[in-house]
């Protein structure tokens, strides 16, 4: 398994392409937008430059990694002759189902189809294809080149052979694959998102401010990043989408998104990606200044 395709050149997609290419795999990075591909490749180059500066890799390693990635705007051309295709598009069920229906017709029968979804049912995605036994979840963590975990989610029909292959492949990337079953939110987000949502509820109810909530969790619970800062980093729209999937899946009120989160997303305050969330990122991508709306 040496030939990989990654669909989506955004934050997760370019990170996944980066780690495969750095390990010597031949990667096709696919996006309908040429501008997104250009931006994604620039991000990979920038991240590799940081690794060179820290003497974790050599300049030659950087060049070899970049040579291992070829970009495509055509899905048909990009997924041709691939052993594994990893979808890393927007966290939207309809978009993912459409992509997997297309992939099923475009890819060879041997090709394994994986999704980087953080919450959507692998079983449902697999059912959109004629090869549900070859559909699996590979949930990488952000930032992909740094974070070690990959949640490997097997759908109802995913075969033992495919699961074993993807577990071994993830280990070869230097990651720690952890197998979980296909339920809303899997493990990572089933635990993380309620904590983030409760942190937003705590702010919404006026118990404490943004910095105070984050400081309690960083200094009191040894979290490297406070939950509100983490929500900004993930993207408040992504957090909302995951909570909706979990609420729809379980019908349990504890997964209902906080009204403050809903309003912020409707207002376009999505966190780092939009320049403002719980913190103001207009001057720096670091969470140094609380957004004006939350300053007491």
- Rounded to the nearest angstrom, the gap between the alpha carbon of residue 222 and the centroid of all alpha carbons in its chain is 24
Candidates 47, 87, 121, 139; catalytic one: 139
Instruction: Return the closest-CA partner of residue 175 out of 151, 192, 200, 193.
Output: 151
Candidates 189, 199, 241, 291; catalytic one: 189
CA–CA gap between residue 113 and residue 128 (Å, rounded): 12
Residue 57 phi, psi dihedral angles, 5° rounding: -140, 165
Candidates 14, 36, 118, 291; catalytic one: 118
CA–CA gap between residue 209 and residue 202 (Å, rounded): 9
Enter the DSSP assignment of 141. P
DSSP E strands, the chain: 3-7, 26-30, 69-72, 84-87, 112-115, 135-140, 149-154, 176-181
For residue 143, say if its preceding peptide bond is cis, omega within 30 degrees of 0: yes
Annotation says 139 is catalytic: yes
Partners of 34 in the beta sheet? Answer: none
Annotation says 108 is catalytic: no
Annotation says 189 is catalytic: yes
Candidates 116, 151, 170, 197; catalytic one: 151
CA–CA gap between residue 115 and residue 186 (Å, rounded): 13
Using alpha carbons only, give the angle 177, 183, 189 rounded to the nearest 5 degrees. Answer: 65
Contacts of 85 (CB under 8 A, 6+ apart): 4, 5, 6, 7, 79, 103, 107, 111, 112, 113, 114
Active site residues: 118, 139, 151, 189
């Amino acid at each position: 398994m040496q030939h990989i395709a990654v669909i989506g050149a955004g934050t997760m997609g370019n990170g996944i392409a980066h780690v495969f290419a750095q390990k010597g795999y031949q990667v096709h990075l696919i996006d309908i937008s040429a501008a997104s591909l250009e931006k994604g490749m620039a991000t990979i180059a920038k991240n590799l430059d940081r690794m060179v500066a820290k003497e974790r890799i050599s300049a030659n390693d950087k060049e070899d990694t970049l040579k291992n990635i070829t970009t495509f705007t055509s899905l048909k051309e990009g997924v041709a002759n691939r052993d594994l295709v990893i979808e890393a598009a927007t966290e939207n069920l309809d978009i993912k189902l459409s992509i997997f229906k297309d992939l099923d017709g475009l890819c060879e029968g041997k090709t394994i189809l994986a999704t980087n979804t953080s919450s959507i049912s692998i079983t449902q995605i697999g059912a959109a294809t004629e090869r549900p036994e070859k559909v699996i979840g590979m949930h990488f963590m952000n930032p992909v080149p740094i974070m070690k975990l990959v949640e490997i989610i097997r759908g109802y029909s995913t075969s033992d052979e495919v699961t074993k292959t993807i577990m071994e492949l993830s280990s070869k990337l230097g990651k720690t694959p952890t197998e979980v079953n296909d339920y809303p939110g899997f493990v990572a987000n089933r635990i993380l998102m309620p904590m983030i949502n409760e942190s937003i509820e705590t702010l919404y109810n006026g118990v404490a401010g943004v910095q105070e909530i984050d400081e309690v969790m960083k200094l009191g619970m040894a979290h490297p990043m406070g939950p509100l800062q983490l929500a900004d980093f993930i993207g408040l729209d992504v957090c909302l989408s995951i909570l909706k999937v979990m609420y729809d899946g379980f019908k349990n009120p504890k997964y209902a998104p906080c009204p403050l989160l809903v309003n912020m997303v409707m207002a376009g305050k999505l966190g780092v990606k939009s320049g403002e969330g719980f913190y103001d990122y207009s001057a720096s991508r670091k969470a140094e200044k609380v957004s004006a709306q939350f300053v007491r």
